[in-house]
Structure 1
Amino acid sequence: MSFEQLPFVPPELVENPEPRCPCVLLLDTSGSMNGRPITELNSGLRTFKQELTSDAMAAQRVEVAIVTFGPVRVLSEFQSADVFQPPELTTTGDTPLGAAIMQALDLLDQRKAVYKAAGIAYYRPWVLLVTDGAPTDAYLAAAERVHQGDNNERKSFSFFAVGVEGADMSKLAQICSPHRTPVKLQGLSFREMFSWLSNSLGGVARSQPGTMVALPPPSGWSAV
């Protein structure tokens, strides 16, 4: 790689050289999420911000990016939790889930390249997908990429899928790695789900990069 091709190192990585735990929130904002679902999802995002920033270590080490669909948009680039501001999500369009997953994983690859250029250690990244539908585009290539990256050998990332009422759980199961099956959301318990996510990421952020961390069970927000 030539000098001109080296990734730009953002000033915040120079000022804060703590190891990073990147997390992409892959959020369905299709028309079917209109009404209470999108309202509760926005409330959950605010809870996520509050709980992450109440943990001093997570505030410095967890980085959050948001990709919404459809259409597929990078709504928020990677930012540390103390800087991240939850956007106000609105609904429109269909469910191009395959393209959204590809965009999220590309975003992760780019961020990992930036960490490496800056000499920043990082934890295994997280992707959290939330959807209430089924893919309206080709998704098998995206599923294959998830299976390749979220396995115990490569450990490129951890991919979690949450199905809201109406989600096609069988297609989500095809997309997810066999060892990490999708979870069905109980009602509209987004705030409880994001509390679980912030607690889990906080536990990771307090560990040493590369070590195994036991995650709390998804109780209180997942349907049996």
Structure 2
Amino acid sequence: MYPTASPDEAPLPVPYMGFEFDSAQRLPLLLCLDTSSSLTQSKAIDALNEALASWAESLAEDTALSAAVDVALITFGGDEGITVWQGATPLGAVAPRWPHSPFVPAHEFRPPLLRAHGVTLMDRALRLAMEVVADYKAGLRDEGLTYYRPQICVVTDGAPSDEQGRFSHAYRDLLPELRRAEEERRFRLFAVGVGERHSGAEGVLKELAPHYHAWLDGFPFAELLTAMSHSARATQGGADEAEFQEIFARLKRRRGGGQVPA
């Protein structure tokens, strides 16, 4: 399990302080975003910030989603390598445990202003994302609350690296756990590449998410986040797998990259 903050640190904010739960099922949606230095090219980090701000507004305006969706954010890049966010509040490289979860209700989600820096520690960020989702589900169960199948969306513009920026195969250590999670329906994983295609990078995404992987031309962050909203609505509606595949296939047809999942 991931470490907890030491007791002498300042208290962490509690996402649901003063928030009245109703009987609606919660729908955890975690974005795992690459903010490495390569995002400075083509002003990609600006496009990502603009898309996050617009998406947050659309979530707040969507009655069904704002009532059920809970949003968390993990970025990989920067001085610490990984940063966990509770809305716009950086919590550092360590994720707090329930009830101090990174997840916040969609209607309260305010995205941070991200900057591009550092290397692509994708495997560590994804492992942490899986642990954050598992902890959140356990916390909801302890409170007697139910939840839909969570969504994790990993977005990168390059291949996973080590601390020195060299290509790393450490992500393969996650593959057995990801396959078990898929079989047990613990979460649905989307792995999306954007921008210039790098040798081997698309294959990494295919290994991580065999059914939901793609490499998209350009930096269509707004369209990608819209697809995540569509997937959340489909989850609420009890859609079968074919509907999720069609949502993802439409995104890929719009910007190209990869095959439509079978």
> Structure 1 length as normaliser, TM-score?
0.85
Q: How far has the Cα of 1:59 moved from its partner? A: 0.1
Which amino acid in structure 2 is aligned with residue 175 of structure 1? L
Matches within 5 A, 1:178-217: 178=210, 180-205=211-236, 207=237, 212=240, 214-215=243-244, 216=247, 217=249
Whether the 8 Å CA contact 1:186–1:221 is kept in 2: the answer is no
Q: Report deviation, 1:204.
A: 2.2
**Corresponding residue for residue 174 of structure 1:** 207
1:1-224 pair list within 5 angstroms: 10-11=16-17, 14-35=20-41, 36-70=43-77, 71-76=81-86, 77-137=102-162, 138-151=170-183, 154-165=184-195, 166-167=197-198, 168-176=201-209, 178=210, 180-205=211-236, 207=237, 212=240, 214-215=243-244, 216=247, 217-219=249-251, 221-224=254-257
Flag the 1:190–1:121 CA change in 2: closer, same or farther, 3 A: same
CA distance in 2, matches of 1:12, 1:161: 35
Amino acid at match of 2:37: G
Secondary structure at the aligned position of 2:70 is classed as strand
The Cα offsets for residues 126-168 of structure 1, whole Å up to 9 and x where unpaired, read as 00000011111421122332222123xx001000011012351
C-alpha separation in 1, matches of 2:52 and 2:148: 22
CA shift at 1:10, angstroms?
Answer: 4.6
Whole-angstrom CA distance in 2 between matches of 1:19 and 1:12: 18
Alpha-carbon separation, structure 2, partners of 1:132 and 1:78: 25
- Who is 2:89 aligned against? none
- CA RMSD after TM alignment: 2.1
- Contiguous gaps of at least 5 residues in structure 2: 1-13, 87-101, 163-169, 258-262
> How many residues matched?
210
The one-letter code matched in structure 2 to 1:163 is: G
Q: 1:12 to 1:121 in 2, by over 3 A?
A: farther
Q: Give, in whole Å, the separation in 2 of the partners of 1:156 and 1:124.
A: 6
TM-score in terms of structure 2 length: 0.74
Give, in whole Å, the separation in 1 of the partners of 2:177 and 2:39. 26
Following TM superposition, by how much is the alpha carbon of 1:9 offset from its aligned partner in structure 2, in angstroms? 10
**Partner SS, residue 255 of structure 2:** coil
Q: Structure 1 residue 57: deviation in Å?
A: 1.2
Question: In structure 2, what is the Cα distance between the partners aligned to 1:9 and 1:92?
Answer: 28
Which blocks of at least 5 consecutive residues in structure 1 are unaligned? 1-7
Contact persistence 2:73–2:84 (CA under 8 A): yes
Rounded to whole Å, the distance in 1 between the matches of 2:84 and 2:214 is 24
CA contact (8 A) 1:63 1:81 kept: yes
